[in-house]
Each structure stands twice: as C-alpha cells, then as structure tokens.
Amino acid sequence: MKTNRFALLLNVLVVCGVLFMSACGTSTPTPTTVAPATAAPATAAPATAAPTVATASVPTVLNMPEQIAGGRPVTITVVGRPPDSQPTLLAAWAAQAARFTKKYPNVTIQGSDYTYTPDSFAALVAGKQVPTLFQVYLTDPGKMIDQGVAADLTSFFQAQKLDTIYNPQILSIVSKDGKIYGIPMNAYAMGLAYNIPMLKAAGYDAPPTTWDQLATMAQKLTNRDAGVAGFSMITDGSAATGWHMTTLAFTFGLKNTDIVQQTNGKYVAGFDNASTLAALSFVKDLRWKYDVLPRENLAWDTNGQALATGKAAMVMMAGDQFTWIRQTYPDAPINDFGFAPLPAGPDGKSVSLVGGNIAMVSAAATPDQIEAAAYYRLWTQFDAGEIQATYDAGKADPTTVVGAPELPLYTGDYQTQTAALQKFYANLPVDNYALFMNGIVSGQVGVSPEPLIAGQEFYGAMGSVVSTLVADQSKDPATELTAAAKTFQTNVLDKLK
C-alpha cells in the first residue's frame, strides 16, 4: 500500500509534490500501496530563505562533505517537483533546492513531477530515462536491485553511519548481500482505529486484543438504527480490499513466503492454505454470523470516512490515514479516535503489514551524479536545519498535519529524539496512538512487507473473493479460495518469466 511517512510534515519538502508517492496525492487509491496513505494533498508554507532557527532540539547525525563531485559541474534530475498548479508547494520545493545549490554551486537540480507507478517506470527503464533520484513503493526495491536499476549507496550510509540509525527491519528491505541500495523516506503500518467514547459507552475501556474479542465487541457496538457498524474494513472488491484481507490473513498465520512460492524455477500460488481460509471464513462470519460490517461495501476513502463521521466504532486502516481524516474532515472529533495494534489471531500474534516510499539513485548515473543525488536526498531528510525549517513552515500552515502513527524509520536515541520533536509540533492526539506505537517499538507486533511477487494481482484476486463472500451468504470460502488460486496461477504466475 502506499504511503507518507517520517511525518507528513517532513515529507512536504522531502517529497513535496508527490506527497506520499501519490498515495497521498492520489484521489483514487490503488494498491501497492494499495491503500494510499493520504488521498488529500497537503500544503506547506514555502520556506523562501535559508532557515535561521535554533536547531538545538533537532538531532544532528549528518556531516555533509565540503565538496560534492570534487567541485565538478554535475546535473541531477530529481522527482518530487510539484506541478505548477500547486504554487505553494512548488515554491517550497524550489526554495529547498536553491538552499542546496547555494551550498554546492557546482550542482544543478532539475525537478521532475513524475509520479511512480510500476508500469510507467518500466517504460522509463526501457527508454533509459530513469531520473537520477527517483522513488518507489516499499514493495519494489528488490525488483530495482535485481534488475540493476538502483545504484549501490552503501558507502554513503557507512560514511554517515546511517546504517546504525535506521530501523533494521526497514533497512533490510533496501539491502541485498550486505549492500544498501535505497533511502527509506517514510513507512506506515496497519492497525485498528477506534472511537474511544463509543467503546466507553458500551462498557469497554480498551480495544480488543483478539479477533474473537473484536467480533463480540463489534456486536455490542453495532447500532443499525443509528447507522453505526461495529467494525469496518475495505470490502468493495478492489485490490485495496485484497490489501486489507491480506493484512488480516497475516494475523491468522499467513506468511508472505506462502503467497507465491518458487518450485523448480517456476512461481507457484501457495496461498490456498488453512491460514488464508480461516481469515476468509472469519470475514464471512463478520458479515453474516455477527452482522457487524457496514451494509454497503466500502472503499479506501469511505472506510476512513466511516470512522471520521461516527458510522463505524472500529476500523482497520493504515495509521497515516489519520492525516487524510484531519485534512478531509476538519470538523471530525479527532481527539475521540485511538489507534491500536490489529487483534491477534489464533496463534496469539498480532502482525501489521507495512508499506511506504523509498528513494533510489539510478545505476545508470555517473559517479558524480550518484554522489550528488544521494547527498541531496540525505540532506533533505536528515539536515537539522531543514527538518526544523520544515516543521516551522508547517506550523504556519493550517492544512499541515503532524503526528500520525507511522512505522518508526529509525532506532535508538535518534528515533526517540525525532519522535519527541514530532510530538512537540503534533496537531494530532499522539497519546491516543500509544498502544499501537508501543506494540510496534517493543516488537510485540510483528511486521510484514507487502507481497513482493505479483502483489497487485494477488490483492485483486483476494479482493474479488471477499466481495463475493460478503455479498452472498451461500458462497463457500474454501471453494472461492481454491478457484481464486487456480485463476491466479493460470492468468498471472504462469505468465511470469
């Protein structure tokens, strides 16, 4: 799925126009980031001059070189330039680029408003038009590494000791054979949002910790006369539905490696198993046995809307969707909403599916371009002055949202300090998300990346099964799952090389 993430605020200048890889600039969420992290665009006040703010409270971990590319003229193409139709964001992006080129006058930055999609990027690769500094979804670094598209950035990480600062689970996604090929920019994780007053009115002091508890609580929380469902998730049959279904299946024991297996050099569908079946059967029970789901099928945005408007007491969603809720429904009682880990499945484990955005540098670039591009991205993300300037710019802008519960990118003292800084500037109720954040940070909640092989198509297959089960009580989960696996094998995996 998609997302936005060190904090939407920091990404405004880091990712500016793409705003969450279009997940957050995309009005119609599509997986692989199947579910965007933010569908509504955010706006940041431009920082037109070099920051002069005090940075004592901002962690300092980056030591920029005196020269880049030995002072030789170098031009890089950087994605993320906002379109002319977003002048405020464009001004902020241009001002940041200007601060960098003032520091390194031999570097020329050419902005690109290209927004990543797997299909369009494949065309860029084929046409040898890959931008020097580009971005991909958290699901795709492995593909870029294996195809030789991404440059090796290990030396920059080691020189700056950033390999010791990043969350190792996140860094492993952009690494292979001991080398690092990407710069994680933001990451989100799935959890359970809930309406605190609704739960308290029903006699509950905390959200459920198991799916069985959720079913029981959701029955009590459902009020058809008031149009309130006890629990909601995406059920419209889209790939986003499959994204949610996969997340739920992970808590029932499904492993990423189960979904598509490699046998004798061939890809084989392996998701027709007991874990997936148990999860699908549970979803069917939510609809027909417990009757706690909304009567209408929900998409990514309407699922979030159900929480924002009080039409659902508990909602499965990505944590960064709170940003979208705050921007799209400014009058929603945001302080009423909490966020917790997803309930545990039969084995007692809670698992969260993660997604996000990764910056990579083209392997086709010259060594000078690779150095300039890598340091530009690291500077925008880690320079203390840039971080502070971004927060201060956002503080003056009413549409900027800070504090959504996201997957920690970093570890140790740096994560602690950046989290404290974010909380200082937050305009979301950060304390309401403590259950989720504590579970993630402590490791009590497992994390799993999105499916790495034919993930979009898999989501589509699972989404179709879910929509069938919630629409027709007579449909058998086992039969539908087996049929979906066979179709997926024939129409997708057998055609992969």
Asked if residues 244 and 299 have their Cβ atoms less than 8 Å apart, the reply is: no
SS3 406: coil
Look at residue 6 and tell me whether its pLDDT is greater than 80. no
Rounded distance between C-alpha atoms, residue 227 and residue 90, angstroms = 42
In which residue are the tokens 């898999």 written?
458
Q: What pLDDT is recorded for position 57?
A: 64
Task: Return the exposure string of 142-160: e unless at least 16 CB atoms fall within 10 Å of the residue's CB, then b.
Answer: bbbbeeebbbebeebbeeb
pLDDT tens digit string along 170-192? 898 899 999 999 999 988 899 99
pLDDT, mean over the chain: 87
Provide mean pLDDT across the span 314-331.
Answer: 95
Average pLDDT over residues 203-210: 98
The residue count of the chain comes to 497
Q: What's the mean pLDDT in 46-61?
A: 51
Share above pLDDT 90 across residues of the chain, in percent, rounded to a whole number: 67
Per-residue pLDDT, averaged over 452-478, amounts to 94
pLDDT tens for residues 99-137? Answer: 999 999 999 999 999 999 888 999 999 999 999 999 998
Question: Contact, 348 vs 200, CB < 8 A?
Answer: no
Query: Whole-angstrom Cα distance, residue 150 to residue 182?
Result: 8
What pLDDT, on a 0 to 100 scale, did the predictor assign at position 59? 72
pLDDT of residue 58: 66
Average pLDDT of 354-378?
96
Q: What's the pLDDT tens digit per position in 330-354?
A: 999 999 999 999 999 999 999 999 8
Residues 6+ apart with CB under 8 A from 201: none
> Whole-angstrom Cα distance, residue 495 to residue 358?
28
| pLDDT over 90 (residue 55) | no
pLDDT at residue 19 is higher than 70: no
Residue 78 pLDDT = 97
Closest of 442, 408, 220 to residue 314, by C-alpha: 220
Q: What number is the average pLDDT over the span 155-172?
A: 91
* Contact call for residues 116 and 134 (beta carbons, < 8 A): yes
Q: Retrieve residue 343's tokens.
A: 């309930």
Average pLDDT, stretch 62-87? 93
Q: What is the Cα Rg of the chain in Å?
A: 22
**pLDDT digit string (tens) for 136-153?**
988 788 889 999 999 999
Residues 400, 41: Cα–Cα separation, whole Å: 10
Band (39; pLDDT cuts 50, 70, 90): very low
Which helix (H) or strand (E) segment is 360 a member of?
strand 350-361
- Alpha-carbon span 318 to 296, nearest angstrom: 21
> 44-63: b or e for each residue (b if 16 or more CB lie within 10 Å)?
bbbbeeebeeebeebbebbe
Comparing 16 with 157, the larger pLDDT belongs to 157
In this predicted structure, which of 81-95, 197-211, 324-338, 390-404 has the lowest mean pLDDT?
Answer: 390-404
Is-contact 271 254, C-beta < 8 A?
yes
What is the token pair recorded at 265? 């050099």
Residue 41 has pLDDT above 70, yes or no: no
